[in-house]
Amino acid sequence: MKIVSRSFPMPTHIWWIRRDLRLKDNPALHSALQGGHSVLPLFILDPRLLNTAAENRRHFLFNGLRRLDEDLRSRGSRLIVRSGLPEEVLPAVVAETGADGVFAEEDYTPYAVRRDANLARYIPLQRVVGVTVHHPAAVVKPDGSPYTVFTPFSKAWKALPLPKPLPPIPDHLPPPPFLPSDPIPPAPENAYFPAGEAEAERRLLEFLDSAVFAYADDRNRLDVDGTSRLSPYLRFGMISARRAAALTMEKIQQTADPAGRKGAETFLNELIWREFYNAILYHFPHVLQTAFNPALRNIEWRHAPAELAAWQQGLTGIPVVDACMRQLLTMGWMHNRGRMIVASFLVKDLLINWQEGERWFMRHLVDGDPAANNGGWQWTAGVGTDAAPYFRIFNPILQSKKFDPYGHFIRRWLPELERLPDEYLHEPWLTPAEIQRKTGFKPGRDYPLPLVDHAQVKERTLRAYQQSKPRE
């Protein structure tokens, strides 16, 4: 890119937007606004990230950028978009504008850490905390070492004071210097997750006004919309994590009813799980390559491409697993209980490497986040930091009966089971011949027979995990 010499009379700050597509409670924007500078909101379409991101996330991001541009324009500013590698684009924009400060929210993925450390050597890059409420390096043991177990981490997290809320953003933002902008690529809107800060805010407030009170129990029910569905918005910073945490803490204080209060406390804990996995990734970036637990890095996984494909497409013959996998393919999102059930099925029942599942999720999830996804997979596979013990194996049928007791969730996602009476929904292969005749539903023809018999595969899995140990 041609570098033009500085020609703008007004001192300029660049607000480099990455995972903070919002105006409210935005520490990077707030810092950029200090000192009466002109502020240039910049987003760099980095091909290294875009080419590997799931289509669902790319679309969500593009629509989010469009909303952000509208919000900026309503305040007299606008978004400048540039395509290219940050190490080329950013120095060029700094030179074009003569900016004496670049403000960005610190991101903890290994790629982002390397990118930013490199850039900070030759541009005035200032990183501020914002992806999480507290910086991962601030929530550590008294000796300075990182926590690897959730409960003490959450205690230490709760003991820190919340950062002060930022003042509201001014109605008029200082207009950025005129610079050409690349277009934001067109993208269809995900009907389940319309992008943007206004939608994120609406969801948070609505959730904290109603569903949060029943969250402690409802969050596990597949057939109930009992969770906030905020994950994609938190992933791209369309709502600030600290604002979500602060409003939840207020709710805890204001709620006298013990059950309702427990709901809000449980929700806060989930927000802290998000902080925990960000901290794990920050302190142990190698988890993206291998199991956290060295003793479980040598499991002999099965190479079973047909079974993996059946799992991916929701054709395993276990209705709860298939319903969840189809929910993922349709919505780009899956219920947390579902994520645990299908992850456990892939790893513990099919004995397929958890990293295959991790990759598939990243290809489809609109909220796909390296830290939370890796943490969730390592936890379920029992190979991670604060993992479920590896010998604990989810029974998908019991999970199905417990968390989708009326089969509403299964029916919603598996139309081929429509004719099946409720009592066989969780295990269609048990449908008696008589019922098959009456309903015209035939297991194996209208819906696959189960890929595996859960009771039989348990031994195989336990053996594989135990045999991994001696090699380390």
Residues that bind ligand FAD (CB under 6 A): 219, 227-231, 234-235, 270-271, 273-274, 277, 336, 339-340, 343, 361, 365, 367-369, 372-373, 375-377, 380
Least Å from the CB of residue 219 to ligand FAD: 5
- Which tokens is 258 given? 């013990």
Q: Which of these is catalytic: 301, 395, 427, 429?
A: 301
Is 311 one of the annotated active-site residues of the chain?
Answer: no
Residue nearest to ligand FAD according to CB distances in the complex: 376
3-state SS class at 157 = helix
Q: Which of these is catalytic: 16, 273, 360, 379?
A: 273
Least Å from the CB of residue 340 to ligand FAD: 5
- Whole-angstrom distance, CA of residue 372 vs CA of residue 358: 10
38 or 380: whose CB is closer to ligand FAD?
Answer: 380
275 is in an annotated binding site: yes
Least Å from the CB of residue 203 to ligand FAD: 9
Is 336 one of the annotated active-site residues of the chain?
Answer: yes
Residue 252's Cβ-side half-sphere holds a number of Cα atoms within 13 Å equal to 15
Least Å from the CB of residue 392 to ligand FAD: 14
- Whole-angstrom distance, CA of residue 288 vs CA of residue 207: 32
Is 354 one of the annotated active-site residues of the chain?
Answer: yes
143 is in an annotated binding site: no
Is 377 one of the annotated active-site residues of the chain?
Answer: yes
- Whole-angstrom distance, CA of residue 461 vs CA of residue 447: 26
12 or 231: whose CB is closer to ligand FAD?
Answer: 231
Query: Which is nearest to 193 in space by CA: 246, 132, 234, 160?
Result: 234
282 is in an annotated binding site: no
Q: What is the DSSP string of 169-211?
A: PPSSPPPPPP---PPPPP----TTS--SHHHHHHHHHHHHHTG
Largest CA distance in the chain: 85
- Which tokens is 190 given? 């995900």
Least Å from the CB of residue 221 to ligand FAD: 12
Is the separation of the CB atoms in 16 and 32 below 8 Å? no
Three-state DSSP string of 203-260: HHHHHHHCHHHHHHHHCCCCCCCCCCCCHHHHHCCCCCHHHHHHHHHHHHHHCCCHHH
First and final C-alpha spacing in the chain = 50
157 or 377: whose CB is closer to ligand FAD?
Answer: 377
19 or 426: whose CB is closer to ligand FAD?
Answer: 19
Least Å from the CB of residue 376 to ligand FAD: 2
367 is in an annotated binding site: yes
16 is in an annotated binding site: no
Is 379 one of the annotated active-site residues of the chain?
Answer: no
Is the separation of the CB atoms in 276 and 133 below 8 Å? no
274 is in an annotated binding site: yes
**What are the residues whose beta carbons fall under 8 Å from the beta carbon of 104, sequence distance 6 or more?**
15, 16, 17, 18, 28, 116, 125, 126, 127, 128
Least Å from the CB of residue 155 to ligand FAD: 17
Residues shown for the chain? 472
- Which tokens is 88 given? 């080329």
Q: Which of these is catalytic: 298, 336, 427, 429?
A: 336
- Whole-angstrom distance, CA of residue 321 vs CA of residue 17: 37
- Which tokens is 96 given? 């074009």
231 is in an annotated binding site: yes
368 or 428: whose CB is closer to ligand FAD?
Answer: 368
Is 360 one of the annotated active-site residues of the chain?
Answer: no
68 or 200: whose CB is closer to ligand FAD?
Answer: 200
Give 3-state DSSP helix, strand, coil % of the chain, rounded to 5: 55, 5, 40
Least Å from the CB of residue 215 to ligand FAD: 7
- Which tokens is 334 given? 């899956």
3-state SS class at 42 = strand
266 is in an annotated binding site: no
Q: Which of these is catalytic: 201, 270, 395, 429?
A: 270
241 or 299: whose CB is closer to ligand FAD?
Answer: 241
Q: Which of these is catalytic: 157, 333, 377, 379?
A: 377
90 or 272: whose CB is closer to ligand FAD?
Answer: 272
273 is in an annotated binding site: yes
- Whole-angstrom distance, CA of residue 28 vs CA of residue 178: 21
Is the separation of the CB atoms in 376 and 343 below 8 Å? yes
127 is in an annotated binding site: no
- Whole-angstrom distance, CA of residue 130 vs CA of residue 56: 24
User: Residue ranges for the binding site?
Assistant: 215, 227-231, 267, 270-277, 367-369
Positions at the binding site for FAD? 215, 227-231, 267, 270-277, 367-369
| Residues designated as active site | 270, 273, 301, 336, 354, 377
